[in-house]
Amino acid sequence: METTYQPRQSGIWALLLCAWLLALISTLAVLFVGEVMGQVPCVLCWFQRAFMFPLVLVLGVACCMSDAGVWRYALPLAVMGWLIALYHNLLYFGLIPESIKPCGAGPSCSGVDMTIFSGVPLPLLSLGVFSLLIVLLVLIRRRFTV
């Protein structure tokens, strides 16, 4: 009888795949908006991209290796991206005064051309994606450590 610890693997690979696909689709979408549609991102969008782009690689490798321990590396990236997206949304919806807006001099995300799916603003979509990634990574963590 073997007594070594074996993490519960049921469903972890599917969660990893979902997280990777979510990060990949998000990255491809923002690249399409920026490079094909020619929409220049604001400063806060750039910071959010800085946390989303590495998630594609980190989660992709974890998915290929079935490495449920990836939550240790991916969760901090997703949380930092979420915090920036939250701040961006607070600015977008006017809950934070304009005087402390860091991206006032550059392109603005408040234009109608920066919406998708019939009016969903890109900052809100970013917050949603980071939120889903955090949920998936927490589920992976729970299944890995139980």
pLDDT band at 39 (very low <50, low <70, confident <90, very high): confident
Whole-angstrom distance, CA of residue 70 vs CA of residue 95: 35
Q: E strands of the chain, at which residues?
A: 115-116, 120-121
In a domain, 6, yes or no: no
Could you tell me the pTM of the whole model? Answer: 0.84
Q: What is the pLDDT of residue 6?
A: 43
Q: What is the pLDDT of residue 40?
A: 80
* Number of domains comprising the chain: 1
Tell me, what DSSP letter sits at residue 3?
Answer: -
In a domain, 50, yes or no: yes
In a domain, 34, yes or no: yes
Residue 23 pLDDT > 70: yes
In a domain, 116, yes or no: yes
Residues 6+ apart with CB under 8 A from 79: 134
Mean predicted confidence (pLDDT) in 51-70? 95
In a domain, 4, yes or no: no
In a domain, 35, yes or no: yes
- Please name the residue that has the structure tokens 């139980």: 146
CATH of the domain at 57: 1.20.1550.10
Whole-angstrom distance, CA of residue 129 vs CA of residue 132: 5
For the chain, the helix, strand and coil percentages under 3-state DSSP, each to the nearest 5? 70, 5, 25
Residue 110 pLDDT > 50: yes
